[in-house]
Amino acid sequence: MIACLKLHGTISSKPRVIPYRLAVTLVLLSAMTVFGVFAFTGGQDWNDRGLGLAFIIIVAVLASIYGVIAVMAIGGGDMPVSISFLNALSGLSTSMAGFMLSNKALIVSGAFVGASGIILTLVMCKNMNRSIAHVLVGGFGDSGSSNGAKKAGVVGTAKEASAEDVIEMLTRAKNIIICPGCK
């Protein structure tokens, strides 16, 4: 949802990194681990499904908070890469669900989605001259970053242009350089 809102321009495409992000991330991950274990052990009673469901809901809420924090830190220019990576993770989770259910169709289809998503993510990072770690850690996708956009003099926010706007800009331009396949 955050990625769509950033790409649509509803919220700013600049990365938003919360203070003490590493500490907050560690607290969230440890809480998810603890409540995840509680969901399967059920405290003292293995048959208390209501308590187990409550723990699973707590884990889902914590995971949602972590997801918002992680995606808000990624700049708008890096959002397609992060979407591709998240798609790959959904394929891997489908594959893991297939292992749990002993369903070969889920295993194979999830593995295909996961592998193709990872390949697409790596190809996109390579073509953007970016490290996948920098894209996924976030905070690097704005014009004030160290990724080379500042060195090239690129500043501002990308805006959507219609075909008529592009035609007008091209007719007013004094010099046009078309560089297919440039990196």
pLDDT of residue 102: 93
- Is residue 111 helix, strand or coil? helix
* Cβ atoms 125, 131 nearer than 8 A: yes
Give the integer Cα–Cα distance in Å for 11 and 5: 6
- Which pLDDT score, from 0 to 100, does residue 47 have? 66
Q: State residue 32's pLDDT score.
A: 94
Q: pLDDT at position 63, please?
A: 92
Per DSSP, 123 falls in state H
For residue 139, what pLDDT is reported? 53
Task: Output the pLDDT for position 33.
Answer: 93
Q: Where are the domains of the chain?
A: 18-72, 77-145
Q: What is the pLDDT of residue 96?
A: 94
The secondary structure of residue 78, as a DSSP letter, is: G
Q: Output the pLDDT for position 182.
A: 56
Distance CA 131, CA 139 (A): 13
Give the per-residue pLDDT at 90.
Answer: 93
H helical segments located in 102-162: 104-127, 132-137
Q: Which residues of the chain have pLDDT under 70?
A: 42-47, 138-158, 180-183
Tokens standing for 80?
Answer: 């397609």
Position 131 scores a pLDDT of 83
Asked if residue 10 lies in contact with residue 86, where contact means CB atoms within 8 angstroms, the answer is no
- Is the CB of residue 66 less than 8 Å from the CB of residue 3? no
Rg (CA), the chain: 21
